[in-house]
Amino acid sequence: MQKLTALQTATKRALYEAILYPGVDNFVKYFRLQNYWTQQAGLFTMSAK
């Protein structure tokens, strides 16, 4: 559960930084975290089949 909490916190922080300080680096950081969540959701969906 600590990993989940850390990832959620990192994702929120990356989103806030991308909004407050727009730029390529902040966007990429947030985008990579979003891609991680999307990938995990896909793996979860596949495991349920």
**C-alpha dihedral (28, 33, 36, 41), degrees to nearest 10:** -130
Cβ contact 36:10 at 8 Å: no
pLDDT in tens, 1-48: 999 999 999 999 999 999 999 999 999 999 999 999 999 999 999 998
CA distance 38 to 21: 24
Range of the domain at 33: 2-47
What pTM does this model have? 0.83
Number of domains in the chain: 1
Please count the other Cβ atoms lying within 10 Å of the Cβ belonging to residue 15. 15
